[in-house]
Structure 1
């Protein structure tokens, strides 16, 4: 299953916008997740520095793709 907070994404899920879905990658909770696919094992997230702060670039927030075992927990 693919879930995304982007309306233009085929995996768009309005419940994800309300924080009703928590995404885990290899058992670790992901913060700032934009899109995740448990079949592909990928998650697009906003990148953070070692202190957990968002990394801002000249054209916006840096994004990165992480790979591993993706899990969705509903209502968490």
Structure 2
């Protein structure tokens, strides 16, 4: 399964992430998720600075991609 808040992503699912959907990486819940794909084992998320703020370079928000065991829990599953 793939879920995303990125309009350009094939897993785009508006309103799903952050509304009861939980995403875990290696058993740890992730909160800054843009895209999660449990089959590919990847999560794209906002990169945070030391204070926990989303990093911005110029006019662009910085995203990072991490890999591992991804689990997506839907609120109605």
TM-score band by shorter chain is: 0.7 to 0.9
Higher helix share: 1
Q: Which residue of 2 aligns with 1:59?
A: 59
| Range with bigger deviation, 47-56 or 27-36 | 47-56
With normalisation by structure 1, the TM-score equals 0.83
RMSD: 1.6
Q: Which residue of 2 aligns with 1:71?
A: 71
With normalisation by structure 2, the TM-score equals 0.82
**Unpaired runs of at least 5, structure 2:** none
**Unpaired runs of at least 5, structure 1:** none
Stretches (4+) displaced over 6 A: none
Q: Which residue of 2 aligns with 1:35?
A: 35
1:39-58 superposed Cα distances (whole Å, 9 cap, x missing partner): 11000000012332211211
Tell me, in whole angstroms, the C-alpha distance in 2 between the residues paired with 1:19 and 1:27: 20
Number of residue pairs aligned between Structure 1 and Structure 2:
75
